[in-house]
């Protein structure tokens, strides 16, 4: 009881003086927002904070043990100003009561703890939230920034993916889809392509290399450069065991043309010194799509059409060309065989022209 009596006397003494125009009740009220005083003290302390009140009937002021509050809100485009009292029980949570929070653009609230302190004039603000003060430029930047960043990341991802596949494809082109060092398991290490073709021409059926050997040869060829393009694909110069070969690459959409041409080349007894030598037919996966290969002898002068456009031919040369072409056509007409396109595009010229 002595402690309670001492507190009562202390605040009675403070009430006789003006401490920055604040009563001891106001000091206690503000202090109790942060430090919870023992409840036994309140019966001995008379808290009477006086506030302006626009909501009170018959009077323009109110008395409370909590805080004065002033608020300005916007309702249907009209500003509404309210001044009133709130009790101590409404000042929750301590330190940042919900009643004292503002909502920018909708509600501007001010809580205070001195007599008639809620006479201030508040403005509701300009917008409906944190982004309401942004102009068109800021809004465009906020929206376009993440979109641009996402597009940039997507482009970088596609580029890295494409670059990775290009490296894989280049590596496969240099080393072959299958390890070239393994081809000696099926072919003699000292055998060149011409040796294989000669052996098969003299002792085989004349229809080209066996299918298993074709796959071994085709999958260990290293492509060098594009030497021509046609209706069905590209023609590359390739390397196999130090020798040059011609590789005609069809896209997977032209599978019927590839199959028909491979079937013609593998006809029995087709091989002849004046007919383009067929070596192999195979399909290969380059990492992006499936390629269909036809491998044949390589002739550096290209087709007869290209050769006649580039060089002048002597009488002796014309006779050799005519004789070799006639020999090849004569051999073809021994069987019911054929080819696609004009004859001069499919007549090749070798070094012995």
Residues annotated as binding site for ATP?
A: 248
SS3 for 307?
Answer: helix
Residue ranges at the known binding site: 248
**List of E strands, 28-163:** 49-52, 61-64, 67-75, 78-86, 107-112
Count H helices and E strands in the chain, helices first: 8, 10
CA–CA separation, 107 and 73 (whole Å): 4
Q: Widest CA span of the chain, in angstroms?
A: 140
SS3 for 5?
Answer: helix
Report the Cα 253 to chain-centroid distance in Å: 28
- Angle between helix 24-32 and helix 2-14 axes, rounded to 10 deg: 120
- Those residues whose C-beta lies under 8 Å from the C-beta of residue 202, and which sit 6 or more positions away, are none
Eight-class DSSP state of 231: S
CA–CA separation, 32 and 65 (whole Å): 11
* Cα dihedral value 229, 233, 237, 243, nearest 10: -140
Helix (H) or strand (E) holding 95: none
Indicate the pairing of strand 278-285 with strand 233-240.
unpaired
Long-range contacts of 317-321 (CB under 8 A, 24+ apart): 317/353, 320/352, 320/353, 321/349, 321/353
**List of E strands, 190-232:** 222-229
CA–CA separation, 100 and 84 (whole Å): 12
């Amino acid at each position: 009881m002595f402690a309670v009596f001492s507190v009562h006397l202390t605040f009675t003494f403070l009430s006789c003086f003006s401490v920055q125009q604040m009563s001891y009740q106001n000091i206690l009220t503000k202090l109790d927002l942060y430090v919870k005083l023992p409840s036994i003290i309140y019966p001995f302390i008379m808290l009477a904070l006086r506030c302006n009140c626009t909501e009170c009937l018959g009077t323009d002021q109110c008395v409370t043990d909590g805080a004065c509050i002033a608020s300005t809100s916007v309702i249907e485009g009209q500003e509404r100003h309210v001044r009133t009292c709130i009790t101590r029980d409404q000042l929750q949570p301590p330190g940042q009561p919900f009643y004292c929070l503002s909502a920018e653009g909708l509600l501007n609230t001010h809580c205070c703890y001195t007599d008639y302190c809620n006479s201030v004039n508040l403005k509701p603000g300009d917008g409906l939230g944190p982004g309401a003060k942004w102009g068109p430029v800021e809004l465009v930047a906020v929206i376009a920034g993440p979109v641009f960043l996402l597009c940039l990341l997507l482009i970088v991802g596609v580029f890295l993916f494409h670059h990775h596949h290009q490296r894989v494809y280049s590596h496969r082109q240099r080393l072959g889809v299958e390890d070239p060092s393994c081809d000696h398991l099926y072919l003699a290490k000292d055998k060149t392509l011409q040796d294989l073709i000669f052996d098969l021409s003299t002792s085989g059926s004349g229809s080209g290399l066996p299918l298993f050997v074709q796959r071994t040869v085709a999958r260990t060829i290293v492509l060098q450069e594009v030497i021509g393009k046609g209706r069905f694909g590209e023609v590359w110069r390739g390397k196999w065991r130090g020798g040059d070969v011609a590789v005609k690459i069809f896209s997977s959409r032209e599978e019927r043309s590839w199959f028909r041409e491979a079937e013609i080349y593998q006809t029995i007894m087709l091989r002849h010194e004046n007919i383009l030598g067929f070596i192999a037919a195979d399909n290969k996966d380059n990492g992006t799509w499936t390629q269909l290969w036809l491998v044949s002898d390589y002739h550096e002068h290209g087709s007869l059409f290209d050769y006649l456009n580039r060089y002048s031919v002597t009488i002796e040369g014309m006779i050799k060309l005519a004789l070799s072409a006639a020999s090849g056509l004569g051999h073809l007409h021994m069987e019911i065989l054929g080819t696609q396109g004009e004859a001069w595009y499919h007549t090749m010229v070798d070094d012995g022209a």
